[in-house]
Structure 1
């Protein structure tokens, strides 16, 4: 087996984040696990290079992010832009949803993701 390109610190961060999910992440995770019936495997808090994605579907090269209030801060927006640019350079599409949208419109968010995957 080839050695992983994910460093130990990123792996540890992913593990910690899986144990400390936000309300929106918990809600969306429950819904995204249902994609298994469509043959889609979703991973949560998955390391990708130097980053940890909230949710990723490696087979479709799709990252789904849930943005809380902190993502409205200018420095966080710049970090998100650089991160998204890097993920796209690796061939990933990135979908972002606000935590509020996930909590208030979970069905609509899931439908949007299913459409992106060609399932709706």
Structure 2
């Protein structure tokens, strides 16, 4: 799935990778290199004007890591609806949840990945 990415998005994505939060870094260490039972994830991926924190294209699963600024955010609801319309499922986790319970978060993600064929 190759798409043309505007230059400003490409630059912004690179800076987001460098300035990742603790939670994003912890989760990336668990997901990278197909470590989660062979599922391949990418991080900070531009897609149709959005930047996805993590995505597994094979399973059509997007994982978003949210801070307090995302609480009851209507833009996130619209974004999730758009991604759902494109055939993606979206899981959202709070930063604190990942930091305190990384194993539980990974089990939730794995369960969703294994249910991707249903």
TM-score, normalised relative to structure 1: 0.86
User: Does 1:25 pair with 2:28?
Assistant: no
Residues 92-103 of structure 1: matches in 2 within 5 Å? 92-103=88-99
How much does 1:37 deviate? 6.4
Give the Cα separation in 2 of the matches to 1:94 and 1:21: 20
Which structure is higher in helix share?
1
Q: Counterpart of 1:82?
A: 78
- What secondary structure is seen at the aligned counterpart in 2 of 1:84? helix
Give the Cα separation in 2 of the matches to 1:78 and 1:60: 26
Q: Structure 1 regions of 5+ residues with no counterpart?
A: none
- Whether the 8 Å CA contact 2:36–2:110 is kept in 1: the answer is no
Taking only aligned residues, the RMSD between alpha carbons, in angstroms, comes to 1.8
Give the Cα separation in 1 of the matches to 2:110 and 2:36: 12
Count of matched residue pairs: 114
Q: Structure 2 regions of 5+ residues with no counterpart?
A: none
Q: Counterpart of 2:15?
A: 16
TM-score, normalised relative to structure 2: 0.88
